[in-house]
Amino acid sequence: MARISSTPIAAHTSEPPPQAGRRSTLSLLITSVRPEQWTKNLVLFAGLIFGGRLLEVNAVLTAVAAFTIFCVLSGSVYLFNDVWDRDADRRHPLKQARPIAVGDLTAPVALLAAAVLAAVALAAALSINAVLGAAAGSYVLLLLLYSTALKYVVIIDVLTIAAGFVLRAIAGALAVNVPIGAWLLACTTLLALFLSLSKRRHELMLLGEGAGDHRPILEEYSPYLLDQMIAVVTASTLIAYAVFTTDAATAQRLGTPHMGLTIPFVLYGIFRYLYLVHQKREGGNPATLLATDRPLLACVVLWVGAVAALMYLPLEN
């Protein structure tokens, strides 16, 4: 098992001198909360869509509020994580440019901003309803545990990331007061594992022999092991989605027996992602891939459109 660092944040090596006069603190904070990563929170809208409330204005506004809350929460966690990992990030070919790793944004300022953002977001979640507040608090606690301990434990690290996606999906359903089915949760879990394992593989290939110096847990993985895990999760994801969309209970709950028509979009999306991971050596940043790879983006848009059309247009069943 990989080693778990017990070094507190305050004990990390001293910050390099900040490069003065380049960017404002606000600009550095905006960069550090990684708004480009907020597409991961789109899973919160699953409850709105699959719960049949997409055409209700109040439900849509509530879902948008929940999405915004989790964007703020994830931003606060990114700030904390960048402070915790700043020494390792300085040795990473891509992460070394982050404001906290460079020293442009100091640790005390980043931690203060993280605390304020988390407090505001949690208060907003509680103002919507208590169960959403509980889900938001659980999400923050889980990711803080991941940043400080769980990401150093083999297999548990990727399972924790997947659990974060599941908590987002649950929070989205709780926000609009709809049940979220077991099969949909299973699909969310498996897809999140697929993305997490692909990211680990990309990191391992990118960093090569120095992978363990940046992220000790990478010493516990190999490309072959990750490929085996990805193969298992890929097959499981496709089977789970096929069962979910063709199940009679799903047809009754969603109001359409034709949801299986969306399976080709999921097949193409997963195969396209595998192509990008293995042939193009990408996959380190799923949010960036979604925004920059046009075929993948088109697939996701078409899938959402197909689901909405099947559920909300007056088609004959």
Of 153, 179, 205, the position where a domain reaches its end is 179
- Looking at the structure, do residues 61 and 128 belong to the same domain, yes or no? yes
Q: What is the per-residue pLDDT for 126?
A: 96
- Looking at the structure, do residues 72 and 203 belong to the same domain, yes or no? no
- Looking at the structure, do residues 216 and 126 belong to the same domain, yes or no? no
**76 in a structural domain:** yes
- Looking at the structure, do residues 161 and 219 belong to the same domain, yes or no? no
Q: What is the per-residue pLDDT for 22?
A: 67
* pLDDT digit string, tens, across residues 179-189: 878 888 899 99
- Looking at the structure, do residues 186 and 161 belong to the same domain, yes or no? no
Split at pLDDT 50, 70, 90, the class of 38 is confident
**8 in a structural domain:** no
Q: What is the per-residue pLDDT for 9?
A: 42
* pLDDT digit string, tens, across residues 56-77: 999 999 999 999 999 999 999 9
**198 in a structural domain:** yes
Three-class SS string for the chain?
A: CCCCCCCCHHHCCCCCCCCCCCCCHHHHHHHHCCHHHHHHHHHHHHHHHHCCCCCCHHHHHHHHHHHHHHHHHHHHHHHHHHHHCHHHHCCCCCHHHCHHHHCCCCHHHHHHHHHHHHHHHHHHHHHHCHHHHHHHHHHHHHHHHHHHCHHHCCCHHHHHHHHHHHHHHHHHHHHCCCCCCHHHHHHHHHHHHHHHHHHHHHHHHHHHHHHHHHCHHHHHCCHHHHHHHHHHHHHHHHHHHHHHHHCHHHHHHHCCCCHHHHHHHHHHHHHHHHHHHHCCCCCCCHHHHHHHCHHHHHHHHHHHHHHHHHHHCCCCC
Q: What is the per-residue pLDDT for 12?
A: 43
Split at pLDDT 50, 70, 90, the class of 281 is confident
What's the pTM value of the predicted model, to 2 decimals? 0.84
* pLDDT digit string, tens, across residues 22-34: 689 999 999 999 9
What is the tally of structural domains in the chain? 2
Average pLDDT over all residues of the chain:
87
* pLDDT digit string, tens, across residues 93-143: 778 889 999 989 999 999 999 999 999 999 999 999 999 999 999 999 999
Split at pLDDT 50, 70, 90, the class of 263 is very high
Could you tell me the residue range of the domain that residue 116 belongs to? Answer: 24-179
Split at pLDDT 50, 70, 90, the class of 39 is confident
